[in-house]
Amino acid sequence: MPLIERRDQDFLLHEVFSVSEFSKHEKFADFNKKTCDMIITEARNLAIKEILPTNKLADKENGHPEAVKLENGQVKVPPSFHKPYKLFCDGQWLAMCDDPEFGGQGMPHLLAMAAGEYFTSANCSFMMYPGLTHGCGNILATFGTEKQKQLYVKNIFTGKWGGTMCLTEAVAGSDVGALETVAIDQGDGTYKIKGNKIFISGGDSDLVENMVHPVLARIEGAPAGTKGISLFLVPKYRVNDDGSMGEFNDVETVGIEEKMGIHGNATCTLAFGSKDNCIGELIGEPNKGMKYMFLMMNEARQGVAMQGLGFATASYCNAIQYAKERIQGPNLMKAVLEGDLTGVPIIQHPDVRRMLMSMKAYVEGCRFLVYYLNSCFDKATVTDSDDEKTKWEGLIEILTPIAKSYCTDKAVEVASTGIQVYGGYGFIEEYPQAQHYRDAKITAIYEGTNGIQAMDLLGRKLGMRKGKPIMDLMGEVNATVAKAREAGLEKIADSLQAALNKLGEVAMTLGAAAMSEKALDAFASATPFLEVAGDLVMAWAWAERAAAAKKAIEGAKKKDVPFYEGQIATAKYFYEQLLPTAVGKMDSVKNLTGAIMEIPEEAFVG
């Protein structure tokens, strides 16, 4: 079964982003081209041979031997997950970018992203266990005390212990500040934790010996809202000073959810301290929990963008294979001109070809976006200049909500088209496409819904540091305009420049409205604004891709020519068919409709 087009990954890694250039810096000295290629090959093998076969199995509903189960308070993951999990941990894939002292591999983010794309495309539900575990370890490695680091981080980064993120409660979803879990100071540096968290991904699992929960809670008497939230380290089994595991810490899994998709991942309700015996310790300082948790949330948002890409990629690769094999109906031209009614593979039908083209445009465009975003971490690491570092960090800030929302919305769209390519078989569960569609939907919801991401972009990121990150993003796009011109892609360069200017106007209009009496109208347009910002990023991606392909096609090996031609043709399609619609939409966003907030609530009659 196909998974990812390796040729496209190699193109981005080496010809667009020059990943091995990072090896000039001592931190990444081990990661030359040969090593990078070897790592990707290893990741691909593990993903295809061991992880991918578990995806369909884990999709089964309750009662099936492979369904996630809760037995006597213990979550049992699909049995088929155990072998790949062990191989994954043994191969040190859990902490690819982290400090080798704690079990990491210290590799560039860009490379880790490419490897991670294989794992996530193969089985996202499976990958959520180590993914959240990593985020939990990263919080402790960054904000934990020396003792917390020594006791926990290596066990987490090696996958011996699992990790979660515990924000959501019944009354606190998007509004985290409303949470009711309390922490009662014991006067000995520890706190008693009391409260229920819901929807906790991988909240418990039999893959690991212990679970470590970073829990948001309010210390008794702390201010209301997000200002009074602290972050606590709460293990399922207490950890003794010598690192051995102690007694049960009164963290109970009291339920697992029945869901629309990602069936292989246990979505748990966790009760902390129902027997008044749950002990947590502070991570960092009191009342700064949201700041610390944002580290994990940003990592998770970037990870969810990758999940979106993974679902879209998997659906797209299946669709290509199916369209080349499924015979149905004659070739239109041959039927009309020669009367030849022989059935042909459906990829020859213009409408099927159009569907595949639009899938390709968004899948590969989103791949550019998430790879670029990850390369910003590496650029921030290797630079000696503070200004440069600030620039790359600002780009990460502004691109995170765009990547999270755009890649996940497109994932649902692409997965839907992926069903359409299969016709009726796409709707049948025996075939793989329906699962990708069901699984993909959650990515637009968790980690801050896409609506919340849009508000973050408009309300926080746009005006951040007097607009420096958005200006830097525009600077990056402008550099690509010049590159496209140099490559002789005049039409693309002109269109990209015009679209960029228009987006700048929309941003100015919406940004100003957001700080005026028209704020509600501005926020009613936050989602379409994020969508057109994402469209602009796609245009940027296709200009970069086309310029690199144009350069490489001269003197390319014969076997590579169709790939480069495909890049140039898809750029042409994007600029001729998709970008004009996006530019039209920019106008409509700029018009700042008042209709959405004018309509009285009573007019919505359900």
**Which residues are identified as catalytic?**
447
Site of tokens 């309390």 = 182
- Burial of residue 90, with CB atoms counted within 10 A of its CB: 0-12 exposed, 13-18 middle, 19 or more buried: exposed
Q: Which is nearer to ligand FAD, 174 or 342 (CB)?
A: 174
Please, which residue, 458 or 547, has the CB nearer to ligand FAD?
458
Measured from the CB atom, is 410 or 483 closer to ligand FAD? 410
Asked whether 78 and 58 are in contact (CB, 8 A), the reply is yes
Tokens matching residue 385: 């200049």
CB of 265 to ligand FAD, least distance (A): 7
Query: Can you spell out the DSSP letters for 455-524?
Result: HHIIIIITTGGGGHHHHHHHHHHHHHHHHHHHTT-HHHHHHHHHHHHHHHHHHHHHHHHHTSTTHHHHHH
When binding is defined by CB under 6 A, the residue of 67, 167, 380, 414 that contacts ligand FAD is 167
Q: Which of 91, 106, 451, 459 binds ligand FAD (CB under 6 A)?
A: 451
Local structure of residue 169 (DSSP, 8 states): B
For residue 553 the two structure tokens come to 């096609």
Nearer to ligand FAD, 168 or 313 (CB): 168
The answer to whether residue 168 forms part of the interface with ligand FAD (CB under 6 A) is yes
Interface positions, 243-302, toward ligand FAD (CB under 6 A): 259, 267
Contacts (Cβ under 8 Å, ≥6 apart) of 286:
219, 222, 230
- In the list 32, 145, 390, 449, the residue contacting ligand FAD (rule: CB under 6 A) is 449
Q: What residues numbered 187-216 form the site for ligand FAD, per CB under 6 A?
A: 199-201
198 versus 312: smaller Cβ distance to ligand FAD: 198
Of the pair 394, 448, the CB lying nearest ligand FAD is at 448
- Is residue 459 at the binding interface for ligand FAD, with CB under 6 A as the rule? no
Q: How far is the CB of 267 from ligand FAD (least distance, A)?
A: 4
Positions 171 through 190 that interact with ligand FAD (CB under 6 A): 173-174
Q: Taking the CA atoms of 265, 1, 300 and 27 in sequence, report the sign of the dihedral they define.
A: positive
Closer CB to ligand FAD, residue 197 or residue 391? Answer: 197
Residues binding ligand FAD: number (CB under 6 A)? 21
Please state the closest distance from residue 133 (CB atom) to ligand FAD, in A: 12
For 297-336, b/e burial (b = at least 16 CB within 10 A) is bbbbbbbbbbbbbbbbbbbbbbbbebbeebeeebbeeeee
CA–CA gap between residue 115 and residue 105 (Å, rounded): 13
Contact 348, 371 (CB under 8 A): no
Task: Dig out the tokens for 325 from the structure.
Answer: 């094999």
Stretch that binds ligand FAD, among 166-174, 272-280, 508-516, 567-575 (CB under 6 A): 166-174
Give 568-606 as a DSSP string: HHHHHHIIIIIHHHHHHHHHHHHT--SHHHHS-GGG---
Q: Where in 428-447 is the site for ligand FAD (CB under 6 A)?
A: 442, 445-447
Please report where in the chains the tokens 């409709």 appear, as a residue: 593
Stretch that binds ligand FAD, among 30-38, 161-169, 346-354, 470-478 (CB under 6 A): 161-169
- 143 counts as binding ligand FAD under rule CB under 6 A: no
Name the residues that contact ligand FAD, by CB under 6 A. 164-168, 173-174, 199-201, 259, 267, 442, 445-449, 451-452, 455
